[in-house]
Chains A and B, each alone.
Chain A
C-alpha cells in the first residue's frame, strides 16, 4: 500500500486540528492541552503533539495527515516527517496580529517542501477578520520562494469541501508538475 504524507502547519489557532478533522476518515488523534497563551489564540485548548488523521483509498493508498503543533514547530520530529512528506497545507488565520510575517516565517521553515513536493496556503477565519488580500499573500510567497506558484485560497477549516479543495489542488499541482516536465522535456 502506497503511503502519502501531507503535513498541516501554521500558527496557533490557524485551524490545523480542525482541518484534519474535516478530512480524516478516522477519529483524529490529537493531544490537546489547556491553552495558556490566550493572547495568541483565544481558545480553550492547543495541540501539544502531532495531530493525526487518515484517508484510505481502496487497498492501494493511504493518505496520512499530520498536524504540527503551532506552539512548538521547531522540533526535530517534524524534520523527519518533512523529509517523507509529499506536500504541505500551510494554514494561516486572517485574524492573527501579523499573518504576512507568519507566512514568511513558516515558509522559511517549510519552504523546501515546495521544491520536493508541493505547498498550498489556506487562509482561515476571513469571516472573522478580512485581513490582508490574497494578492498580499501571493506577493509574500513570491518574495520568500521566488518563481514559485503556490495556490492561495481562503478556507474555512471546518468545511470539508474547502479542505478537499486544498488537498486536491496540492496533489494536482504535484502531479501536473511532473507531467508537464515529461511532456515538455523540462526538469520538473
Chain B
C-alpha cells in the first residue's frame, strides 16, 4: 500500500507544550500539506515526548524530545527546541521524514500507517503537485512572500519560502495519479497488520482531518475501480462509482490530501453527496471489526447526534444499537449484548460513528458494566418481542 502521510503523536507533555506544538502544526498545515498527521496514539511514526523515558517504543518509531531553551541535543537525537516555533517543528518533521524514508522496509511494521515502498517524494501531497481532475493542470503559482514571516528563526530565509521550497513538486511525480493505476509492487502490499484491512489507512487519515477540522480535499483511489474526492470545506464528496458498490476489502486503497488555497473552487459540482455517507462506509469497513486505533477498547460511548439514516447503508440492528447508545453509555460488547446484535457489527458501528464525530466518551471509565449479555442461545427481550421487531417482520426487513 502506498501512503502519502506519516503520523506523529505527543506524549507526556505539559498542556501548554502540547498546545504550542499543536498550534505550530496547525500553522504549518495551513501553509502547506506537510505530509504529517497528528494522532492521539502510541503507534505513531514519530513520538514527540517530554522526557526520553516517556514510553517504550518500537524499533520503527522515532522519538523526538522537547529540548530546553539552553540545552544542547545529543549527537543523533531528534529534538524540538522550546519555545516551539513553526520553523523548529518544520525542521524536525523534515529530519524525521528523511529518517523514516531511509528505514529498511521490513522494519516498518507500524500499526498506524502502512507503506509498501518508501515514498519517493512527500510533495505528492502538496497542492502544487496535485492532479485533481477538476483542478487546472497548471496550478497557480503561490504568491511570493515579501519579507520574513513572523516565525523566521533567522533573517536568512523566510520560513514561508522554506515551506515553498519544501513543497516544490518533483516533476516525475505529478499528473500520474489519475491517468495511471499505481505500479504493481514487488514487495508485499502490506507490511503492517494485514488484518486491519485496506481501508484502515484511509480511515486514519480521514479521522485526523475530522479531528483537526481541516479544510482539505482528500482524494481516495480504490484499486483500479473508483476514485472518490472528498471536499471537507463543503462536507461533501463525489465518487466515480456508487459508494455502496465499493469493495469492503479492496486490494489497495490510496489516499492523498491537499490544502486548497482560499477561494479555490469546489472539486466537483455541489452539493455532491453528504460526507457522512463516505465516513460511515470507510469507518464501518476499516479495521475489520477490531476497534479503531484511536479508541480505547473499554471506553463507553454515548450518541451525541443521530446519523442521517436515510443516507447511510445501515442494517436494522444498527438502528436499535444507535437508539440504545442514545440512551446509555456502553462499550461495543455491552451494546451488542444488550441489543442481541453481533459484536462485530457493534464495533464497526462505533468505529464509524467515532469517525463521523457522533460520539461522546464516558468520563467514568471504570464504571461497572451496564448490561450483561443474555445467556447463550437466548436473545434479549427487546430483540424478539416489541413493536419494532414485529414491524420489522411485517415490513420484511
Contacts and interface: CB of A to CB of B under 8 A. Distances in A.
Interface in A133-159: 134-135, 138, 149-155
A171 B382 CA distance: 11
B151 interface: no
Nearest to A130: B271
A165 B397 CA distance: 11
Nearest to B381: A179
B319 A169 contact: yes
Nearest to B385: A175
B310 A155 contact: yes
B388 A183 contact: no
Interface stretch (A35-43, A56-64, A75-83, A100-108): A56-64
A53 B330 CA distance: 37
Interface in B265-307: 271, 303-306
B215 interface: no
Interface in B299-348: 303-306, 308-311, 316, 319-320, 322-324, 326-328, 338-339
A153 B310 contact: yes
A169 B395 CA distance: 14
Contact of A168 (B326, B381, B391): B391
B394 interface: yes
B366 to A, nearest CB: 16
A154 B276 CA distance: 13
Contacts of B371: 183-184
Contacts, number: 105
A180 to B, nearest CB: 4
14 contacts: A57-B387, A57-B393, A151-B306, A152-B306, A152-B308, A153-B306, A153-B309, A154-B311, A161-B310, A168-B319, A169-B319, A169-B323, A175-B382, A184-B370
Contacts of A138: 305
A179 B338 contact: yes
Q: How large is the interface on A (under 10, 10 to 19, 20 to 34, 35 or more residues)?
A: 35 or more
B310 A186 contact: no
Interface centre among A130, A134, A169, A188 (most CB of B within 10 A): A169
A55 B391 contact: yes
Contacts of A150: 306
Given A4-B387, A58-B390, A172 B319 contact: yes
A58 B389 CA distance: 13
A167 to B, nearest CB: 7
B309 A176 contact: no
A176 B323 contact: yes
Contacts of B306: 149-153, 169
Contacts of A162: 310
Interface in B368-388: 370-371, 380-382, 386-388
Interface centre among A134, A138, A172 (most CB of B within 10 A): A172
B324 A153 contact: no
B180 interface: no
A63 B387 CA distance: 9
A130 to B, nearest CB: 6
Given A57-B394, A61-B387, A149-B326, A134 B320 contact: no
A33 B98 CA distance: 75
